[in-house]
Amino acid sequence: MARWSLRTKLVAVAVLALLPVLTIAGWRSYDDARNVQARRADAAHAIVEVASGRQREVLEGSRRLLVAACDDDAVRAVLDATATATELDRCEAYLARLLRRFAADYSALVVTDEKGMARCASSPVKARECPAASRTCNHARERRGSHPEARANRWCCDHVTNRDA
pLDDT in tens, 41-55: 999 999 999 989 988
User: Within a 10 A sphere around the Cβ of 28, how many other Cβ atoms?
Assistant: 10
- Is residue 4 a part of any domain in this protein? no
- Is residue 38 a part of any domain in this protein? no
Number of domains, the chain: 1
- Is residue 67 a part of any domain in this protein? yes
The Cα–Cα gap between 63 and 153 comes to 13
Mean pLDDT within 24-46: 96
Nearest to 140 by CA among 128, 131, 130, 153: 153
The Cα–Cα gap between 96 and 74 comes to 12
> Tell me, what CATH number does 144's domain have?
3.30.450
Q: Identify the three-state secondary structure at position 161.
A: strand
| Full domain range(s) for residue 102 | 57-162
Amino acid at the residue 12: A
pLDDT at 78 over 80: yes
The Cα–Cα gap between 108 and 127 comes to 9
Mean pLDDT within 21-41: 96
Q: Identify the three-state secondary structure at position 99.
A: helix
Name residues whose C-beta falls within 8 Å of residue 136's C-beta, 6 or more positions apart in sequence: 159
- Is residue 45 a part of any domain in this protein? no
- Is residue 42 a part of any domain in this protein? no
pLDDT for 58 equals 83
Query: Which pLDDT band holds residue 11 (cuts at 50, 70, 90)?
Result: very high
Nearest to 162 by CA among 71, 50, 57: 57
Give the pTM: 0.53
Average pLDDT, the chain: 78
- Is residue 158 a part of any domain in this protein? yes
pLDDT for 145 equals 47
Mean pLDDT within 50-73: 87
- Is residue 157 a part of any domain in this protein? yes
